[in-house]
């Protein structure tokens, strides 16, 4: 396996730590992480952690700089990395556009890839949607694909505007599934099921259902129909969940709100 080139990761939180772990499994040779309070998971071979960018050695020349910080901190954080004009910049910040990132770097011709992974990246089961800016070379896109694929599946799109609904659906999607698990557990407890059993039942039901989706190519709708017996108990529950102004309407409004927030973060 060809080792990965020198990398600079800005932000060592949950997603940054997941990416470092994935890169180690794919031949990480040298990387520096900038984070004042790095996660313990970052420690290990090939990785140096510094608290601030001025502690990066002068002779370190990263081939890629990955921004894994909150979009609200971008205005202060990104200009500190203008000294790497030849690097590929990969942003996993929600909302921040390629144009805005180039402006903060004071480099309109910067090679920038904007990507949105999700938290299953921590177990290499993530899903990332990415878009390459106009100045990204074929070789840089291959490098970006390799780095993002280290934590799961990668899909590329040409229209950057799609990253806003992607952020709402895929980026936030695990939270919606976790909320469903919480609600199932609470409903079980409300009906007298002991807490330990309620927790195990909700978790294993969600995990098993996800496993069914992963095991084949059937549409989710087909799997839903298969478990819904006519005039049975599941049909009664779904009649409430799918009623007017219930789940379909609520979920659509939720995704619209998240998409709007991603757009608001773009500047």
Q: Is 130 helix (H, G, I), strand (E, B) or coil?
A: strand
Whether residue 226 is predicted with pLDDT greater than 80 in this model: the reply is yes
Whether residue 234 is predicted with pLDDT greater than 70 in this model: the reply is yes
pLDDT tens, position by position, 51-67 = 999 999 999 999 999 99
Whether residue 41 is predicted with pLDDT greater than 80 in this model: the reply is no
Give the pLDDT band (50/70/90) at residue 132. Answer: very high
Give the pLDDT band (50/70/90) at residue 166. Answer: very high
For the domain bounded by 7-162, which CATH number is listed? 3.40.50.720
What does the block give as tokens for 142?
A: 């291959």
How far is residue 82's CA from residue 195's CA, in Å, rounded to a whole number?
53
Whether residue 267 is predicted with pLDDT greater than 80 in this model: the reply is no
CATH 3.40.50.720 domain span(s) along the chain? 7-162
Which residues, at least 6 apart from 108, have a Cβ–Cβ distance to it below 8 Å? Answer: 102
Rounded to 10 deg, the angle between the 220-227 and 195-215 helix axes is: 130
% of the chain beyond a pLDDT of 70: 97
More confident residue, 40 or 42: 42
As a whole number, the mean pLDDT across the chain is: 94
Whether residue 31 is predicted with pLDDT greater than 90 in this model: the reply is yes
Which residues, at least 6 apart from 144, have a Cβ–Cβ distance to it below 8 Å? Answer: 64, 88, 90, 113, 115, 130, 132, 136
Task: Tell me the DSSP string of 7-41.
Answer: EEEE--SHHHHHHHHHHHHTTB--EEEE-SS--GG
> In the prediction, which pLDDT does 190 show?
98
Whether residue 1 is predicted with pLDDT greater than 90 in this model: the reply is no
Within 10 A of 211 (CB to CB), how many other CB atoms are there? 10
Angle at 133 between CA 145 and CA 174, to 5 degrees: 55
Give the pLDDT band (50/70/90) at residue 29. Answer: confident
> In the prediction, which pLDDT does 40 show?
63
CATH 1.10.3730.10 domain span(s) along the chain? 173-264
Classify residue 1 by burial, with Cβ atoms within 10 Å: 0-12, 13-18, 19+.
exposed
For the domain bounded by 173-264, which CATH number is listed? 1.10.3730.10
Whether residue 13 is predicted with pLDDT greater than 70 in this model: the reply is yes
Q: Is 55 helix (H, G, I), strand (E, B) or coil?
A: helix
């Amino acid at each position: 396996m060809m080792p990965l080139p020198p990398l600079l990761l800005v932000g060592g939180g949950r997603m940054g730590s997941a990416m470092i772990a994935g890169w180690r499994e794919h031949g990480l040779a040298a990387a520096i992480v900038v984070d004042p309070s790095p996660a313990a998971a970052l420690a290990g071979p090939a990785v140096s952690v510094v608290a601030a960018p001025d502690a990066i050695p002068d002779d370190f020349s990263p081939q890629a700089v990955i921004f894994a910080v909150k979009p609200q901190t971008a205005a202060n954080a990104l200009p500190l990395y203008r000294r790497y004009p030849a690097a590929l910049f990969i942003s996993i910040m929600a909302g921040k556009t390629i144009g805005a990132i180039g402006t903060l770097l004071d480099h309109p011709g910067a090679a920038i890839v904007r990507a949105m992974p999700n938290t299953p990246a921590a177990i290499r089961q993530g899903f990332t949607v990415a878009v390459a800016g106009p100045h990204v070379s074929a070789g840089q896109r291959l490098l970006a694909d390799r780095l993002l694929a280290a934590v799961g599946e990668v899909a590329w799109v040409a229209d950057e505007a799609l990253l806003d609904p992607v952020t709402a659906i895929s980026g936030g999607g695990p939270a919606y599934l976790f909320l469903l698990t919480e609600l199932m557990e609470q409903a079980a407890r409300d009906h007298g099921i002991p807490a330990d059993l309620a927790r195990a039942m909700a978790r294993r039901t969600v995990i098993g259902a996800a496993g069914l989706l992963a095991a084949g190519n059937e549409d989710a709708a087909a799997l839903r129909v298969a478990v819904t017996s006519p005039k049975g108990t599941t049909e009664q529950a779904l009649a409430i969940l799918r009623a007017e102004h219930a789940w379909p309407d609520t979920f659509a409004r939720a995704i619209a709100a998240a998409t709007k927030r991603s757009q608001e973060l773009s500047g």
